[in-house]
């Protein structure tokens, strides 16, 4: 897990292989709040859909993709999932699956645990 306080920056990483993350520039990141549908935050490694704050940014190095959230805010408390094209199918990060699932929780002192 990754920890951070409001106003700080955190980076969430998702490691794949040369057959998925490393082989294609088609990594996306989703944010999911409890009881709601996942929201696309980043696509094609580093592109932001309209309406997504520019404090969310994506990058990739080798087989590892990263989502950086700068200036953490309370509404960033959520589950974050990565997804990668792999030729003819996609992997998603989640329980009993590939990648890294990251969940945030509010701390007693206003910190966020990702």
Task: State which residues form the domain around 43.
Answer: 8-94
- Is residue 35 scored above 60 in pLDDT? yes
Give me the pLDDT at residue 1, please.
65
102 found inside a domain: no
105 found inside a domain: no
81 found inside a domain: yes
CATH number at residue 70: 2.60.40.10
86 found inside a domain: yes
pLDDT in tens, 39-82: 999 999 999 999 999 999 999 999 999 999 999 998 998 888 88
Give me the pLDDT at residue 45, please.
96
**DSSP collapsed to 3 states, 57-114:** EEEEECCEEEEEECCCCHHHCCEEEEEEECCCCEEECCCCCCCCCEECEECCCCCEEC
- Is residue 112 scored above 70 in pLDDT? no
For the chain, the domain total comes to: 1
58 found inside a domain: yes
């Amino acid at each position: 897990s990754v920890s951070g306080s409001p106003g700080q920056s955190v980076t969430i990483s998702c490691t794949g292989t040369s057959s998925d993350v490393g082989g294609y520039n088609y990594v996306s990141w989703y944010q999911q709040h409890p009881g709601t549908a996942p929201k696309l935050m980043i696509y094609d490694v580093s592109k932001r859909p309209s309406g997504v704050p520019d404090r969310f940014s994506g990058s990739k190095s080798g087989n590892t993709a990263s989502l950086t959230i700068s200036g953490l805010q309370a509404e960033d408390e959520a589950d974050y999932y990565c997804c990668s094209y792999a030729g003819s199918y996609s992997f998603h990060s989640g329980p009993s699956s590939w990648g890294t699932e990251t969940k945030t929780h509010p701390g007693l002192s206003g910190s966020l645990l990702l």
